[in-house]
Amino acid sequence: MLCPHVLIAALLAISVLAQNVDPLQKYTISAPGINATFIPYGARLTNLYVNDKNGNPQDVALGYDNAADYLRDDQTVHTYFGPVVGRYANRIKNGTFTVQGTTSRIPKNDNMGNDTLHGGNIGYDQRNWTVVSANTTSVTFSLLDQAFEGFPGNVITYATYTVSAGPTWTSRLVSIPLDEPTPIMLANHVYWNLGAFVDAEGSTILNHTLQMPYAARYIEIDNIEVPTGAIGTVHGTPYDFTSPKQIGRDILSATNGCGYNCTGYDNAFILDRPRYSAPEATDLSMLTLRSESTGIRLDIYTNQQSLQIYTCDNTDGTIPVKASQQHGRSRTYVEKYGCVVIETQQWIDGVNHPEWGQDEYQIYTVDSPPAVVFARYDFSVSS
């Protein structure tokens, strides 16, 4: 059995050999009714096509036509269009946590230096991942995290994306700590618009119907979106999506729940699976999203215990949609509420809230099972 130092050296050698791979090269995988494109930079989804109610393929993921624009984005507005975020997705209070008596301090890159967002200054979204394998229906990337951004220890992560008839996109993120105990919480950060900008209604997600049947609770946050430790219930609030509801129905009532002076959703919903299921079971759809404009429906199955929902409350009409989403118009831009991000993950900042009992799902060691984020995206169409 290889000792950790030898294993790290071997993995690093593989990474060095792969550095000649263009991080912006596009890899397209396809199956009946679906095709998706990825780039190694951030192990990032750039396009995902499925058929609408008229049988026309629609690109339902936001991003850029020119892959180099992702680099420019990261140096300016930093939207996190389509990548894996980590080593720890979402926010860490004060950029600080303690694991087994050792305190780590991560760069505070959010809210004017008050907290850490998506792994620090240079998270997994800005790393050049190695292409491990690619064929017509699947692509696998890997990343050797050598204590990036001050996180403890070295971690190897594999991101495998597969498409299949259904149509279905499956994402599997597997992370293995190589030496020290560390928090790990990854997520895919895809911006969705199932309306694909086909018409005026399809230009926002306000008319999308959303249901999260097992999300009766959510994590309460302060005015910079850091958890307070309190757990709220959605009943009787704008955050109740346990029954199907258009996103726009109550969105103007969701004020300051997504940060100071914010109107919209940017919240972590807790997934309480029913008693006949299990905490990490993938047998039930945790979320259903549907567009009236295209008839495209998305069901998400995941082993994670939370969904972060962000309704693009801060987009301001300055980012153009891709050519595949212009539909013959001269120029269309992503306006406020023009998209929705759905992050399958564990409870945000759980590393700083041991009272939540999240340690077994967020703290990993050389002796523990790997950290696995499984998410299956099933697409269908209704007239």
**Positions marked catalytic:** 189, 343
**Rounded CA separation 253/251 (Å):** 5
DSSP-assigned letter for residue 90: S
Phi, psi angles (nearest 5°) of residue 245: -155, 140
Handedness of CA 118, 241, 290, 249 (dihedral sign): negative
- Rg of the chain over Cα atoms, rounded to whole angstroms, equals 20
Phi, psi angles (nearest 5°) of residue 89: -70, 155
Nearest to 235 by CA among 257, 211, 216: 216
**Is the Cβ–Cβ distance between 44 and 70 less than 8 Å?**
yes
In the sheet that 191-192 helps form, which strands lie side by side, from edge to edge?
Answer: 191-192, 340-345, 306-310, 266-270, 217-221, 227-233
- Kindly list the distances between the CA atom of residue 4 and the CA atoms of 9, 155, 337, in Å, as whole numbers in the listed order: 9, 11, 46
Helix (H) or strand (E) holding 39: strand 34-39
3-state secondary structure 213-251: CCCCEEEEECCCCCEEEEEEECCCCCCCCCCCEECCCCH
Exposed (0-12), middle (13-18) or buried (19+): which is 165, by Cβ within 10 Å? Answer: exposed
209: tokens are 């119907």
DSSP-assigned letter for residue 87: S
**Rounded CA separation 176/205 (Å):** 36
Exposed (0-12), middle (13-18) or buried (19+): which is 107, by Cβ within 10 Å? Answer: middle
**Rounded CA separation 210/245 (Å):** 6
**Rounded CA separation 40/127 (Å):** 8
